[in-house]
Chains A and B, each alone.
Chain A
Amino acid sequence: MDNLGERCEIARTATGRFLHEPVREPATAVGARVETAGRGGHASPLAPGLWRNDLGVQLSSAAIEKPNRRDFLYIATAAVGAVGAGAVVWPLIDQMNPDASTLALASIEVDLAPIAEGQIVTVKWRGGPVFVRHRTKKEIDDAVNTPLSELKDPQTDQERAKKPEWLIVSGVCTHLGCVPLGHEGQYEGWKCPCHGSVYDTSGRIRQGPAPANLPVPEYTFLSDTRVKIG
């Protein structure tokens, strides 16, 4: 509705609002009607003669160009209104961001002591699966000794595992999000049942449509038997 005023031909001050008289018409006597033919836009107020006297403004081209007190008030009000509108709208949008209870689960601690060598444990972190794999010596050697030229997404095993016996990777297939099955596939890593992506013992993509290695989340070892993920 704001644009209606601007798009119709109306007298303009610096803000161009609410002075609904055309520039070139002379001021009329009280009660006289002002013809509004040919303006093809905004309808004139219903009592133009009275209104003009109400305003007490005689329009001339000189008066139109200088910004006046009214323009200042309009712009200042609009500016404060915009800040107010922002202040009102922000909480309504921010409430959809993760809330305190979700953020509290942003990090989890995992006890590594019960995980046997060769075992893969799946934990829930930020709503999704994370594989914690206690790797055997063979699995570590296979991962380290892979030439990078064989990898679609080249990464060394050392880049991916802080301690070689513990591999911690996200359990979400980088193709379309299914959870791959552990100890499957020709590399004894993981294989995704949905479209056949095959990962090795470092969680790197070897075959299939997935474009990237299983992502490594942020993690820290709090001790030899406790790791904090996230």
Chain B
Amino acid sequence: MSGSPTYVPKSALGRWFESRLPVMGLVHSSFVAYPVPRNLNYLWTFGAILAFMLTAQIVTGVILAMHYVPSATLAFASIEHIMRDVNYGWLIRYLHTNGASMFFFAVYVHMFRGIYYGSYKAPREVLWILGVIIYLLMMATAFMGYVLPWGSMSFAGATVITNLFTALPLIGTGVAHWLWGGYAVGDPTLNRFFSLHYLLPFMIAGVVGLHVWALHVAGQNNPDGVEVQNVERDTVAFTPYATIKDLFGLSIFLILYAWFVFYIPTYLLDADNSVPANPLVTPAHIVPEWYLLPFYAILRAIPNKLVGVVALAAAIILLAFLPWLDTSKVKSAKYRPAFRVFFWLFVVCCVGLGYLGSQEVSDTTTWVARILALGYFGFLLVVLPVLGLIEKTKPLPASIADAVLAKTKPAEAAAPPASR
């Protein structure tokens, strides 16, 4: 949905190049003239924020890789070398570790926005599935990155997650040995995790390219869930409106990021990871990083090893089926009052599971986690399919322009301009 005239450069050199590789035209039609619904709110700035965070992680990561040594005997010391000796090494390290957390914070806001406003519905199903693939790649990347410092928690995390594969019948142990390059997590594991941790972000970048491409085919969804009908009335040009809005959203986000990096850089780091890895001793209290906690809680809630692993995988894979699980024709929760209630209950389940994932296992935490896990799967497998068939939705606005004007119409009589 580009709808803009062909871009013709002013200079002769520009025209020569453009006729051979139309990059400027592509940038122009995708990020300058590209029409964007005029009713987007700040939740729509998180796409740009995520693109920024991916770039930031790649830049800081490549720099860290100049100083890091991926060997079981030297990894921990190389991190200390980065923190103490390398010029601004402490800054780049904290940017990278806190950057990962900020990346996941942004991705969760981005995903919950998608669920709330039905951005996964037709014609954006492939866009959504590409997003789930990006999410999976992010989790793999983050998991491997966490192993690299080779602290106690790094080692424990690597052991637990790779041991998930031993749940597979018949082939499980063989797969685990293949992953480890040995009989347990060790030096070969660390080396290959470093290689893959360097590789995966570029795969993420590739899938992000497909994700933005798919987005530009269908166009953005919007808070009213009503598709663009009249490009002139319903949309504005990406530049300068969305550009500036994204920059502003990014600036606020960066303030939060900087708060962590400069004032509380170790708040999200586990103290046990400041102790070098010891294969013969496991820390008393194992936790993954906060962004993996809900899935960790689901895994622990189920008493059977294989079913627990399957549930963990299902919790993530089911997200890819959202476009078909949700039967409602109405996209936005703004016009689905019953869905809104269940949505927020779902959020409570996710946050609650996350909290429980951080706690030591007890009888109470187990049965509460089971209830919340039931809520999680119930939302996806029961509420979404059934609600679409029986709910009462509010009347949709006729168009995006009408939805925007409805906000100002009561205040003004004659044909008003949209508010600035």
Binding site for B on A (CB under 8 A): 1, 4, 7-9, 18, 30, 36, 40-43, 45-47, 50-51, 53-54, 91-92, 94-97, 99-102
Contacts and interface: CB of A to CB of B under 8 A. Distances in A.
B18 to A, nearest CB: 12
A39 to B, nearest CB: 9
> In the complex, which of the residues A4, A7, A53, A94 has the most CB atoms of chain B within 10 Å of its own CB atom?
A4
Interface string B28-55: 1001110100000000000000000000
A224 B181 CA distance: 57
Given A94-B88, A100-B84, A41 B8 contact: yes
Contacts of B85: 99-102
B11 interface: yes
24 contacts: A4-B24, A4-B28, A7-B11, A8-B10, A36-B5, A41-B8, A41-B9, A43-B5, A43-B28, A45-B236, A46-B3, A46-B35, A47-B232, A47-B235, A47-B236, A50-B418, A91-B88, A92-B60, A92-B63, A95-B67, A96-B66, A100-B85, A101-B81, A101-B85
B317 interface: no
B87 A46 contact: no
B14 interface: yes
A7 B14 contact: yes
Contact of A99 (B89, B236, B240): B89
Nearest to B56: A88
A1 B32 contact: yes
A31 B31 CA distance: 24
A43 B92 contact: no
Contacts of B84: 100
A227 to B, nearest CB: 27
Interface of B: 3-5, 7-11, 14, 24, 27-28, 31-33, 35, 59-60, 63, 66-67, 81, 84-89, 91-92, 231-233, 235-237, 239-240, 415, 417-418, 420
Contacts of A96: 66
B236 A91 contact: no
Contacts of B32: 1, 4, 42-43
Contacts of B27: 1, 4
A54 B232 CA distance: 14
Contact of A54 (B31, B63, B233, B420): B420
B86 A95 contact: yes
A129 B419 CA distance: 73
A92 B417 contact: no
A58 to B, nearest CB: 14
B99 to A, nearest CB: 13
A40 B66 contact: no
Contacts of A94: 87-88
Contacts of B9: 7, 41
A147 B31 CA distance: 74
B87 A97 contact: yes
Nearest to B241: A45
The 9 closest A-B pairs by CB, nearest first: A91-B88, A100-B85, A99-B85, A7-B10, A101-B85, A43-B33, A99-B86, A94-B87, A43-B4
A53 B417 contact: yes
A46 B66 CA distance: 47
B48 to A, nearest CB: 14
Given A96-B66, A99-B89, 14 more contacts: A4-B24, A4-B32, A45-B237, A46-B4, A46-B236, A47-B236, A92-B63, A94-B87, A95-B87, A95-B89, A99-B67, A99-B86, A99-B87, A101-B85
Contacts of B59: 92
Contacts of A99: 67, 81, 85-87, 89
A57 B8 CA distance: 28
Contacts of A46: 3-4, 33, 35, 231-232, 235-237
Contacts of B232: 46-47, 50
A103 to B, nearest CB: 9
Contacts of A54: 417-418, 420
A40 B415 contact: no
A96 B88 CA distance: 10
Contacts of B5: 36, 43
Contacts of A8: 10
A83 to B, nearest CB: 15
Nearest to A90: B88
Contacts of B240: 18
A99 to B, nearest CB: 4
A45 B5 CA distance: 11
A95 B89 CA distance: 7
Contacts of B35: 46
Nearest to A18: B240
Nearest to B3: A46
A1 to B, nearest CB: 6
A44 to B, nearest CB: 9
Contacts of B89: 95, 99
Contacts of B88: 91-92, 94-95
Contacts of B415: 30
Nearest to B244: A18
> In the complex, which of the residues A1, A43, A101 has the most CB atoms of chain B within 10 Å of its own CB atom?
A43
A112 B32 CA distance: 71
A148 B311 CA distance: 86
Contacts of A40: 8, 10
> In the complex, which of the residues A36, A46, A51, A100 has the most CB atoms of chain B within 10 Å of its own CB atom?
A46
Contacts of B66: 95-96
Contacts of A100: 84-87
A83 B249 CA distance: 20
Contacts of A95: 63, 66-67, 86-89, 92
